[in-house]
């Protein structure tokens, strides 16, 4: 069972409501909590857009389109695709840097996906309960102000993959810019580490498909929670407020 709701931020960030009715806070029933500031929401949607562009353009970079007829100077399709890919990569990488800053300076909900409370027994109990909930093995959901433990694990894993994808992407980008470029100096070491440029390309594509899988599961889980758990998920990342329904 979830721990009782308290006003202490360290509890708010990991442990949630118990049952189907929001807990009482200072003598009033909590029906909404402001969870995500505008900066976090902006990061979420910019990252989502960047990921869509990166996956589509990355697929065509890995599997280029057939040769087009006419003089080569008349076509720049792959050039535009690569430009879009590189631009979206910058957006994702810079966004990750700002997201780390948000975790340091904003509310506890902004940092809960960076540090998993693995030393807290209650968190493990909540995690196992969420796994059972997603597998339709329990009837009633637990309500959370921030991310539930399962979502914390998923987002923590995504952040690791996103950082590795950014690093490997800039390594391949630096290979094209030249060995005197900043990208090569900072990330070029990943190419010999992985066994060469082709090998890193393959790892980069594998990372892309793992992100595609994450996005599919993320969308399913968010919409499912919105419908079945009686708390807002999708709209929370638009308004910033977590709404609870009895």
- pLDDT the model gives residue 29: 57
- pLDDT the model gives residue 12: 38
Q: What is the mean pLDDT of the chain?
A: 85
Q: Is residue 131 part of a domain?
A: yes
Q: Is residue 2 part of a domain?
A: no
- pLDDT the model gives residue 206: 96
Q: Is residue 200 part of a domain?
A: yes
User: Phi and psi at residue 45, in whole multiples of 5°?
Assistant: -75, -35
Taking 70 as the threshold, does the pLDDT of residue 155 lie above it?
yes
Taking 70 as the threshold, does the pLDDT of residue 20 lie above it?
no
For residue 185, give Cα distances in angstroms to 2, 93, 170, 179.
49, 17, 10, 7
How many other β-carbons are positioned within 10 Å of the β-carbon of residue 159? 16
Residue 60's domain spans which residues? 32-65+75-241
Taking 80 as the threshold, does the pLDDT of residue 11 lie above it?
no
Rounded Cα distance between 105 and 76, Å, is: 44
CATH for 225: 1.20.950.20
Grade residue 72 by pLDDT with cuts at 50, 70 and 90: low
Q: Is residue 182 part of a domain?
A: yes
Mean pLDDT of 166-190: 95
The 10s digit of each residue's pLDDT in 102-135 is 888 877 778 888 989 999 999 999 999 999 999 9
> Of residues 76 and 12, which shows the higher confidence score?
76
Q: Is residue 97 part of a domain?
A: yes
Grade residue 246 by pLDDT with cuts at 50, 70 and 90: low
Residue 179 DSSP one-character state:
T
Mean pLDDT of 229-236: 86
Q: Is residue 21 part of a domain?
A: no
Domain count, the chain: 1
Grade residue 172 by pLDDT with cuts at 50, 70 and 90: very high
3-class SS of residue 192 = helix
Q: Is residue 24 part of a domain?
A: no
Q: Is residue 18 part of a domain?
A: no
């Amino acid at each position: 069972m979830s721990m009782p709701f308290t006003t202490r931020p360290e509890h708010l960030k990991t442990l949630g409501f118990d049952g189907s009715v929001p807990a009482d806070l200072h003598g009033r029933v909590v029906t909404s909590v402001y969870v995500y500031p505008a900066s976090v929401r902006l990061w979420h949607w910019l990252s989502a857009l960047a990921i869509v562009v990166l996956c589509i353009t990355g697929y065509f970079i890995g599997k280029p389109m057939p040769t087009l007829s006419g003089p080569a100077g008349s076509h720049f399709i792959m050039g535009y695709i690569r430009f879009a890919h590189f631009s979206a990569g910058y957006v994702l990488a810079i966004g990750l840097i700002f997201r780390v800053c948000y975790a340091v300076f904003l509310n506890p909900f902004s940092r809960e996906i960076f540090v998993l409370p693995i030393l807290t027994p209650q968190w493990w109990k909540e995690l196992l309960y969420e796994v059972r909930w997603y597998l339709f093995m329990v009837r009633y959901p637990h309500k959370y102000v921030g991310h539930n433990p399962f979502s914390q694990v998923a987002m923590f894993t995504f952040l690791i993959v996103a950082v590795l994808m950014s690093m490997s992407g800039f390594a391949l980008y630096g290979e094209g810019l030249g060995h005197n470029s900043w990208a090569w100096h900072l990330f070029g070491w990943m190419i010999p580490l992985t066994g060469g440029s082709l090998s890193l390309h393959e790892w980069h594509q594998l990372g892309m498909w793992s992100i595609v899988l994450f996005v599919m599961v993320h969308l399913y889980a968010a919409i499912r929670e919105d419908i079945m758990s009686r708390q807002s998920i999708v709209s929370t990342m638009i308004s910033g407020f977590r709404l609870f329904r009895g």
